[in-house]
Amino acid sequence: MRFRLMGLSVLLLLAGCWKSDTNIVKNASQDAQSSAAVSETLLVPVDASSSLPHNDIKPAEARAFATKLLKKIMADERFVLDAYELKEYDILKKYALHDIPEYMNKPYSEVESKVPFLSPYFPYSDVMDPYTACDTALTKLAHLASIMGDLVREDTSSMRQIVREEKEKYIEARDKCKKRVHMSYEEAYQAYNAE
């Protein structure tokens, strides 16, 4: 009798799973159909640059912005390295997860507040192209700070390797930013186009 009850329980359980599996299959099929419909609408070619506002920043303003950003990067680097040396996990994570996102979400101007897919702090203009390396450097520094925080919490050889690799990537971006800022705008623009 006991085995019959267990057998009956197993059958009921399997029947319940079978019904829920068919619902999952139906839902997955419906999701696939709706995804296909969304994909078809995304395939319509659109000239995004024609509908988005652009900032009319001048080359001298662009260079001044990049110079100011480089100063921030250098000061933040000292701060991050000090926090890492002192094993301040909370400070490193706050910098990476709060301070930098907050800084990057403050629009440079009204134009940037209307462009949905960029960091609003960075002027939205082709004139800024030579200085995108500075934006990359700041982003990589925030990423490095986060990984250093992870290393502070769990010091392993693999984490140390990751920190070394990310530090190299950050230094490469920072040095590129420094070079561009110390060039004339024309030289920086030529260097950007040569990439």
- Please report the pLDDT score of residue 6 as a whole number: 41
- Please report the pLDDT score of residue 55 as a whole number: 55
CA–CA–CA angle 156, 168, 148 (5° rounding)? 40
The structure tokens listed for 60 are 């001298």
Give the single-character DSSP code of 143: H
Which residues in the chain belong to E strands, given as ranges? none
pLDDT tens for the chain, 195 residues: list them.
443 434 434 444 444 444 444 443 344 344 434 333 333 333 333 334 445 555 577 999 999 989 999 999 999 999 999 999 999 999 999 999 999 999 887 766 565 556 565 566 677 778 888 999 999 999 999 999 999 999 999 999 999 999 999 999 999 999 999 999 999 999 999 999 998
- Please report the pLDDT score of residue 14 as a whole number: 42
- Please report the pLDDT score of residue 122 as a whole number: 72
C-alpha distances in Å from residue 143, one per residue of 5, 46, 93, 155, 164: 57, 33, 10, 17, 12
Residue among 165, 88, 184, 180 at smallest CA distance from 132: 180
Q: How many residues does the chain have?
A: 195
- Distance separating alpha carbons of residues 191 and 159, to the nearest angstrom: 34
- Please report the pLDDT score of residue 72 as a whole number: 96
